[in-house]
Amino acid sequence: MSRTAPRSVTVFTRSQPNPTDEAIRRVMDAASEAGVQLQLPADEVEKHGLEEREGTLLGADPAAETDLSLVLGGDGTILSSLRRYAGRNVPTFAVNYGAIGFLATIESDRLEEGVRLALNGDFDVRSLPTLNAGTPDGNQLAVNDISFHRMPKGRVAELGYSVEGHELGEVRCDGLVISTPAGSTGYNLANGGPVMAWGVEGYVVSFIAPHTLTARSLVVAPEDLIEVANRSEHEPVDMTTDGGHVHTVEPGGRVSVRFEKDVAQLAQLPRATFYERLREKFGRLSY
């Protein structure tokens, strides 16, 4: 269902300014014409050398209230926006300036169309689940996945995992990935794990280069808690959320991971579907 046109929009771009230098200025022009306040965080102002103009707030607090997050970037920038506004009822509308852009709302060659739709509120919103991991460093949120890796130059990881207190396995491997349906087409898919359609209630555990023939992916019910344990006596394990390091699991350490429904909001073109997106980004499935 389309939404009310936003009164304020906060813009985020990919880490490297090219090719979004020109694009962000076109967004500024369109917002000024539409009478929508554009909020540009200090990082964006410095990155693109932006100058003040009517209707644009430079140096805006990225955590400030806003009606919409407009991303010009790839999946990494999109995920950052989804995490930033998780639980805040602020959709992320993304124009793809990345390699794959599976989470993008529209492609960069349709920038003008996309900006018009965003500023008019002419888009649907898909609520996405997240993963919440409890660590000694505090809770860590992920939209795509939480992964556990052996350290660079370290020995193979020894990871045990349990669901609702029931130990299901101990695997020598390069790592373990826990993915939401949105993240199942990322690291999980590269591990040979199943693709989960958006809307499926549950999350999946898969292994990175398991040193056994019996390790299998597992889809877990949404209400069930997963606990991952580092069973090594000497080797720490690196923990990441959506590809970024957040915690080191020391030998004997444990991390619990919980699935949480409808936390992040992703803008979609009207009538867009997951299956259409899957085919466009990865091609037709063949066996």
Q: Which residues are catalytic?
A: 75
CA distance 287 to 285: 7
- Residue of 281, 116, 84 whose CA lies nearest to 182: 281
Q: What 3-state class would DSSP assign to 222? A: coil
Looking up tokens 């959709």 gives 91
Q: How many CA atoms lie within 13 A of 104 on its CB side?
A: 27
CA distance 245 to 152: 13
Q: Is residue 30 classed exposed, middle or buried when 0-12, 13-18 and 19+ CB atoms within 10 A define those classes? A: middle
Distance set, CA 182 to CA 33, 42, 274 (Å) = 35, 30, 9
DSSP state of 181: T
Distance set, CA 223 to CA 127, 227, 258 (Å) = 17, 13, 8
Could you list the beta-strand ranges (E) of the chain: 8-13, 37-41, 56-60, 68-73, 92-96, 106-107, 124-135, 138-142, 145-150, 157-163, 166-173, 175-179, 203-208, 218-220, 226-230, 237-241, 244-249, 254-268
CA distance 202 to 251: 29
Would you give the distance in Å from CA 74 to the centre of its chain? 10
Task: List, edge to edge, every strand of the sheet that includes 203-208.
Answer: 218-220, 203-208, 175-179, 145-150, 237-241, 244-249
